[in-house]
Structure 1
Amino acid sequence: MVNERITIGALARRSGVPVKTLRFYSDEGLLPPVGRTRSGYRVYAEDAVVRLDLIRTLREAGLGLAAIKAIFARDMTLAEALRLRLRAIETHIASLQHIAAALRATLRSEPDQADIRRLCTVTRLTTEERKAVIERFYERVSEGVPIDDTWKRQMMQASTPTLPEVPTPEQLDAWIELAEIVQDEDFIQKMRAAAAETWDSGFDLAAHQRVSQEANAAARELIDRGVPPTDAAARPVVERMAAGLAAAMGKPDTPAWRATLHEKSRGHDPRASRYWELVAILKGQPPQSGANEEWHWLNAAVAHHLAPA
Structure 2
Amino acid sequence: MNSATLYSIGELSRRTGLSVRTIRFSSDSEVVAPTERTPAGYRLYDLDALQRLELVRTLRELGIDLTAIRRVLNRELSVAEVASAHADAVDVQIRMLQLRRSVLRATARSGSSPQETRLMHRLTQLSGEERRRLIDDFIDGVFGEESTDPDAVAMVRSATPDLPDDPSTDQVAAWVELAGLMRDEDFRDCLRRTAGHQAHRRTLDIETEAGGELMAFTRPGPAKVPLRRA
Relative to the length of structure 2, the TM-score reads 0.57
Equivalent residue for 2:75? 74
Output the CA distance in 2 between the equivalents of 1:33 and 1:110: 58
Equivalent residue for 1:170? 174
Report SS of the residue matched to 1:43. strand
Matched, 1:36 2:37: yes
CA contact (8 A) 1:71 1:77 kept: yes
Equivalent residue for 2:22? 21
1:86-235 equivalent positions in 2, closer than 5 A: 86-112=87-113, 115-122=116-123, 125=125, 130=127, 133=130, 163-167=164-168, 168=171, 169-174=173-178, 230=201
Extract unaligned runs of 5+ from structure 2: 137-159, 185-198, 203-225
Output the CA distance in 1 between the equivalents of 2:115 and 2:72: 47
CA contact (8 A) 1:121 1:176 kept: no
Of the structure 1 ranges 103-112 and 10-19, higher mean CA displacement relative to structure 2 is found in 103-112
**Counterpart AA for 1:130:** S
Give aligned pairs, total.
164
Identity of aligned residues (%): 31
Output the CA distance in 2 between the equivalents of 1:134 and 1:122: 8
Output the CA distance in 1 between the equivalents of 2:17 and 2:40: 23
**Counterpart AA for 2:28:** D
Name segments (4+ residues, structure 1) moved above 6 Å. Answer: 134-138
Tell me the alpha carbon deviations over residues 53-104 of structure 1, each in whole angstroms, 9 at most, x when there is no partner: 1111111110000110111122221111111211222211111111221222
CA contact (8 A) 1:118 1:173 kept: no
CA contact (8 A) 1:102 1:118 kept: no
Equivalent residue for 1:58? 59
How far apart are residue 12 of structure 1 and its match? 2.0
How far apart are residue 109 of structure 1 and its match? 3.4
How far apart are residue 120 of structure 1 and its match? 3.2
How far apart are residue 175 of structure 1 and its match? 5.1
Root-mean-square deviation over aligned CA pairs: 3.8
**Counterpart AA for 2:174:** E
Report SS of the residue matched to 1:47. helix
Relative to the length of structure 1, the TM-score reads 0.44
Check 1:45–1:56 CA distance in 2 against 1; reply closer, same or farther (3 A cut): same
Output the CA distance in 2 between the equivalents of 1:14 and 1:83: 29
Check 1:14–1:107 CA distance in 2 against 1; reply closer, same or farther (3 A cut): closer
1:267-278 equivalent positions in 2, closer than 5 A: none
Output the CA distance in 2 between the equivalents of 1:72 and 1:135: 42
Equivalent residue for 2:144? none
Equivalent residue for 1:241? none
